[in-house]
Amino acid sequence: MALTGTLKDFGIADILQLIGQQQKTGVLYLKSKDQDVQVYFRDGNIVRAESITRKKKDLIGSMLVRAEIITEQQLESALETQKRTLKRLGDVLTASGAITAQKLKQMMQLQVTETLYGLFSWKAGTYEFKQEDVQADGESITPLRAESVLMEGFRMVDEWPHVRKKLPHEAITFERIKELPASKAKEKEDDFDAAFDDAFSEEKKDENKGEFKSIGSSERKVYELIAPGRDVRKLVDLSCMGEFETCKALVNLLNLEYVRAHQSSGRSVSAGGAGLLVRVGGMVARAVVTVVVLAALGFVGSRLRPDTWDLGDDSASSFADPAAQRLLATAQQARIQAALEVFRLEKGALPERLDALVEVGLLQREDLRYPWRDDYYYRRTSDRQFILLSPLR
């Protein structure tokens, strides 16, 4: 079976579906600009997925440390032992008693699923499937049906925009404001196992369909993990359910008003790496925008003749020279556009009205109409796109 080409012609979903339906055994090689992933199939089932260009934070050892399942010292010790014995890191960790074989398998399964679901966000790249012998390692992960991965991938693609709208960045922290209702179902003995199983069970997926307003085991797990200073990224790491399931659980809790979200300005120092970057970035952006815009306006003003301006009684922003108005309006629009971009960086989305730029101190009220009598025409078309025009005259 020869299968090779670009993802623009044949998408990830089509490839997985074809290999699964034909129950092929082999390796699917996927490459994009900066990523290189290999997916291993046996009889149409996915038995392994590896990112050759995986970042350090996505390595199994780092995942275990961030989830606070093992300590940094335990990882360093295991890595030293691995160098001497050439054993797999997971085998070293389980042999030392740092982690149970069951929890290691769950984390490795999570690593594989996160790699697979990340493929659905690829917009371009190449693929090649080679039929070759692949050995299934049942001790590492449970084989995944291609159809199940497809269904979950499509669900994520469909629901991610709603999640991102509610959680635009990872620097958000949360506060519990009321208790969850008592669980009707009998709680499983192992919370870690329960949360992981719920994240990938069909029952849980059906429970959470629709309005992002149901409370299940995932929501209960995340609710218990919420604490001062823990942002979205930390909760994803601790929950061990994957980014999408954790974020969706947070959205459900927000929708039902069991928790309250806090922006980066209210974050504690211990969890503030990303938040600090956002705040500093916003201040730097404001400074740069202000300097650039003022310089541009100064340059334009120095080349206009003040004696051509008519500051009459009817309007202080009326000019005798229409060309001067148009020239100044071009610079002023650039200033407004820059302020809109700063607002988007700080808030996660563009404002509904230009007045919001005044309310947050990015512009003055007169900036919204200078050098015209009327306000500029503005309409937001999406969280990142807008239309800005001079007033109709």
> Which pLDDT tens digit goes with each residue over 89-105?
999 999 999 999 999 99
Label residue 362 by pLDDT band (50, 70, 90). confident
Average pLDDT over every residue of 328-356 = 85
Give 276: exposed, middle or buried? Use CB within 10 Å, 0-12, 13-18, 19+. middle
pLDDT in tens, 115-149: 999 999 888 999 999 999 998 776 778 999 998 99
**pLDDT cut 70: percent of the chain above it:** 76
In this predicted structure, what is the pLDDT of residue 140? 78
In this predicted structure, what is the pLDDT of residue 322? 64
Average pLDDT over every residue of 358-384 = 84
Q: Please state the domain extents for the chain.
A: 3-147, 167-270, 300-389
Label residue 233 by pLDDT band (50, 70, 90). very high
Reduced to 3 states, what is the DSSP secondary structure of residue 202? Answer: helix
Whether residue 196 is predicted with pLDDT greater than 60 in this model: the reply is no
Whether residue 306 is predicted with pLDDT greater than 80 in this model: the reply is no
In this predicted structure, what is the pLDDT of residue 303? 43
Which residues, in sequence order, are CB contacts of 336 under 8 Å at separation 6+?
354, 357, 363, 367, 368, 376, 378, 388
**pLDDT cut 90: percent of the chain above it:** 46
CA atoms within 13 A on the CB side of 142: 10
Label residue 386 by pLDDT band (50, 70, 90). confident
The alpha-carbon radius of gyration of the chain (Å, integer) is 27
In this predicted structure, what is the pLDDT of residue 57? 77
Whether residue 304 is predicted with pLDDT greater than 80 in this model: the reply is no
Q: Is the dihedral of CA 139, 143, 144, 146 positive or negative?
A: positive
In this predicted structure, what is the pLDDT of residue 321? 57
* pTM for this predicted structure: 0.60
Give, as one character, the DSSP assignment of residue 383: S
In this predicted structure, what is the pLDDT of residue 324? 66
- Strand boundaries in the chain, DSSP class E: 3-6, 26-31, 36-42, 45-51, 126-131, 144-145, 173-176, 259-262, 377-380, 386-389
Give, as one character, the DSSP assignment of residue 273: H
Residue 244 to residues 157, 160, 293, 295, 362, Cα–Cα distance (Å): 10, 8, 40, 44, 34
Higher pLDDT pick, 196 / 181 = 181
Higher pLDDT pick, 25 / 199 = 25
In this predicted structure, what is the pLDDT of residue 193? 52
Whether residue 206 is predicted with pLDDT greater than 90 in this model: the reply is no
Label residue 199 by pLDDT band (50, 70, 90). very low
State the DSSP H helix or E strand holding residue 101, giving kind and residue range, or none if neither. helix 101-118
Whether residue 207 is predicted with pLDDT greater than 70 in this model: the reply is no
Whether residue 276 is predicted with pLDDT greater than 50 in this model: the reply is no
- Cα gap 20→308, rounded to integer Å: 74
In this predicted structure, what is the pLDDT of residue 56? 77
In this predicted structure, what is the pLDDT of residue 235? 97
State the DSSP H helix or E strand holding residue 98, giving kind and residue range, or none if neither. none
CA atoms within 13 A on the CB side of 123: 0
Instruction: Give the lowest-confidence range in 23-27, 94-98, 171-175, 364-368.
Output: 364-368
pLDDT in tens, 147-158: 899 999 988 988
Average pLDDT over every residue of 33-37 = 90
Instruction: State the fold for domain 167-270.
Output: Arc Repressor Mutant, subunit A (1.10.10)
